[in-house]
Structure 1
Amino acid sequence: MPTTSHDDTLQDIFALIGRILIAYLFIPAGWAKIGGFAGTVGYIASQGVPLPQVAAALAIAAELGLGLLILVGWQTRWAALGLAIFVAVITPIFHAYWAVPEAQQMMQKQAFGKNLAIVGGLLVLSAFGAGRLSVAGRRV
């Protein structure tokens, strides 16, 4: 019978905490977009994104749907990869610090950098999976 080392236990606990924290970023954002759908569509349209209603629906599906998959640890690698792609695509659209007035540049550049870090974390999650404390219950 295989034994679990202290390091393996910590790895699984940290993976669970990491999944919860990543999900905490995306699930409430997706849920808020449902309740404020018209406002979300308006904001997306103001950034010049075509088909803003479709884009809002896709954002909800990505944030809420993929965020829930990450939270429970099912299809985590694919969900994390999907969210990484989603964040990588929307970041230069919604945090284009080079195209805003100087007074807004620092805030938008910081948000841009944080989103890149989130993409990095999602890619790590995609590479290593959810850990054993998940619905999948295995490291595959």
Structure 2
Amino acid sequence: MNKISIAIGQFLLGFYFLVPGIRKFTESDDLTVYMQSHDIMFAPQLLWFAGGVSIIGGIFLMCGRHVKLVAYGFVVYVLLVNFMLHDFWTMSEGIAAREMQNFIKNLAIVAGLLVFAGYSPSRRLSLDGWWRSDKSISG
């Protein structure tokens, strides 16, 4: 049952990044305006980069590939997003409560990513066998 729980959790966490990654392309105008409202430089370019990374990383998590590397990368990404876009401490009361909830939710996602990173095997960066699952590399 442990392996099933881990596989389902890993899939759902990957799906959490995949869907918003797709949205970054389909709703890029609105998301760019939101980023620019937070004074983020190069918002369109960063949005496209984040979309691509979210899609690829989400798929890798869902398939159990390079989980440790992807999870640590997403930890950095989520923390950056948290402090740059969910800065509830700078917002009016009406918006601040919702953004604080997003901020705390993202910390929970960081916690899940750290757990997966901690339990996942380390892999050396190489093009050799990059498509193979972490399970086939470690065992």
Shorter-normalised TM range: 0.7 to 0.9
What is the one-letter code of the residue matched to 2:9? G
- Rounded Cα–Cα distance in structure 1 between residues aligned with 2:103 and 2:95: 12
- Rounded Cα–Cα distance in structure 2 between residues aligned with 1:109 and 1:43: 17
CA deviation map 1:21-64 (0-9, x unaligned) = 11221111001111122222222112111111121022112311
Which residue number corresponds to residue 103 of structure 1?
94
Which residue number corresponds to residue 4 of structure 1?
none
TM-fit CA distance, 1:112: 0.6
What is the one-letter code of the residue matched to 1:135? S
Structure 1 residue runs of 4 or more that deviate by more than 4 Å after TM superposition: none
Answering whether residue 35 of structure 2 is matched by residue 44 of structure 1, we say yes
Answering whether residue 112 of structure 2 is matched by residue 127 of structure 1, we say no
What is the one-letter code of the residue matched to 2:105? K
What is the one-letter code of the residue matched to 1:124? V
Which among 105, 108, 132 is matched to residue 114 of structure 1? Answer: 105
- Rounded Cα–Cα distance in structure 1 between residues aligned with 2:111 and 2:49: 21
- Rounded Cα–Cα distance in structure 1 between residues aligned with 2:136 and 2:119: 11
Task: Report the secondary structure of 1:48's partner residue.
Answer: coil
Q: How high is the TM-score relative to the length of structure 2?
A: 0.84
What is the one-letter code of the residue matched to 1:26? F
Aligned identity (percent) is 23
Which residue number corresponds to residue 71 of structure 1?
62
Answer whether contact 1:129 1:139 (CA < 8 A) is retained.
Answer: no
Which residue number corresponds to residue 89 of structure 1?
80
Which among 2, 10, 13 is matched to residue 22 of structure 1? Answer: 13
Answer whether contact 1:20 1:71 (CA < 8 A) is retained.
Answer: yes
Answering whether residue 135 of structure 2 is matched by residue 137 of structure 1, we say yes
- Rounded Cα–Cα distance in structure 2 between residues aligned with 1:57 and 1:41: 10
Stretches of structure 1 that go unaligned for 5 or more consecutive residues are: 1-9
- Rounded Cα–Cα distance in structure 2 between residues aligned with 1:34 and 1:127: 31
- Rounded Cα–Cα distance in structure 1 between residues aligned with 2:11 and 2:33: 30
Higher-Rg member (1/2): 1
